[in-house]
A = this chain, B = another copy of it.
Amino acid sequence: MIPFNKPYLTGKETTYIEDAVTSGKISGNGIFTKKCQFFFEKKYGFNKTLLTTSCTDALEMASILINIKAGDEVIMPSYTFVSTANAFVLRGANIIFADSKEEHPNIDETKIEGLITPKTKAIVVVHYAGHACEMDTIMAIALKHNLFVIEDAAQAIDSFYKGKALGSIGHLATFSFHETKNIISGEGGLLVINDEQFGDRAEIIWEKGTNRSAFFRGDVDKYGWVDVGSSFLPSDIISAFLYAQLENLLDIQQKRKAIWNTYYEQLKPLEKKGLVKLPKVPENSTNNAHMFYLVCNSNEDRKGLIKHLKANHIHAVFHYLSLHKSPFYIDKYEGEKLVNTDNFSEVLLRLPLYYELSRNMQEKIIQKINEYF
């Protein structure tokens, strides 16, 4: 079987974990946590970063930081993972879903302004497949209406919009290191704090609502309960694993991009024949090769192709189900039809893409796709 995903190890992970363990500190905010945070801040120009146990948790921190209260409205795409919404629902927000673009699962920036009301507090964008949303337009809308912008950059490590790293543009941003991502730590995430007003409070919320960080820096002589918060910080074991990955970021990215490009080149003829559509990287965006997907012509086609590939021991998978139609939200949704969201939900298909996908395996996948059509 060619799996859909296979976590890649650089070889240094367990060495660094042993280092963390022998350092005598494996709880959160240890040496490797600081190393990772420093890496991100330096490489991508992020103002301040905090590792978290998941992207979901980083989104929850964002939700607490912008002070989401019952009845606040948050605009986001419906074609995204459940966590993008749940982080705000947990704090009482109503989610206002915007449609995707016709040619890309990213939020359609022209649909946002019409959804703004006096209750709107934030816009959450999701850089799907690591491809940038139209950030200049979105930041301008936010500025005009005094809203916060949060980048759900779960899939968007090492990708850029007009030369700026994704995650460095919104007031806050979040990344995922779940094993399905480019850079992994099993479970894991990162909160990026670009807007300085949030820096001190972020540290407190991260450390269970205490000023423990200030205490360990020697700023106060005991720490105490000063705010709400949770245990958002990962064990340094996880950070040690992550650091090994970060050291090999360049290699990982080169490999993934080569695989992505092979798919793109070799499946181009199918697109020319009108049998499928290939991903369209937006004009102002780079491609971080997080994902290679096909847009099928129909749900039947997608089903058929999944089945055909499976029969040939290849695991290809669909992706998000429209959140506004989910069992949890269908009775709460009052907006218009989200045609593009529903379409991607029906016809988008993801192909295996991981470091150890060999040339042979990829050729087999491409051959079997061609065979189906």
Hey, which bits of chain A sit against chain B, CB under 8 A? Answer: 3, 6-7, 9, 13-14, 17-18, 20-21, 24-28, 53-57, 60, 70, 81-83, 85-87, 89-90, 178-180, 184-188, 208-210, 222, 224-231, 233-238, 241, 318, 321, 323, 326-329
Q: A14-B17, A26-B179 in contact; A231/B184 too (CB < 8 A)?
A: no
Given contacts A83-B231, A234-B53, whether A226 and B327 have CB atoms under 8 Å apart is yes
Q: Per a CB cutoff under 8 Å, which of B27, B222, B318 touches A321?
A: B222
Q: How many whole Å from A324's CB to the nearest CB in chain B?
A: 10
Pick from A83, A86, A188, A329 the residue with the most CB of B within 10 Å: A86
In angstroms, Cα B222 to Cα A89, docked, is 22
A–B Cβ pairs within 8 angstroms, 9 of them? A7-B24, A14-B18, A27-B178, A53-B231, A56-B231, A57-B231, A82-B225, A185-B237, A186-B237
Chain B residues positioned under 8 Å from A55 (CB to CB): 231
Min CB distance A62 to B, Å, is 13
Given contacts A21-B14, A53-B53, A83-B208, contact A226 B328 (CB under 8 A): yes
Taken together as a complex, chains A and B put the C-alpha atoms of A81 and B208 apart, in Å, by: 9
A208 touching B86 by the CB < 8 A rule? yes
Residues of B within 8 A of A225 (CB): 82, 85-86, 321, 323, 326-329
Contact check, A25 vs B86: say whether CB atoms are below 8 A apart: no
Contacts of A241 in B (CB 8 A): 237
Residue of A20, A27, A57, A208 contacting most chain B CB atoms (<10 Å) = A27
Residue of A9, A70, A238, A323 with most partner-chain B CB within 10 A: A238
Ranked nearest first, the 6 interchain pairs of A and B with the lowest CB-CB distance are: A186-B235, A26-B186, A56-B231, A225-B326, A54-B231, A187-B235
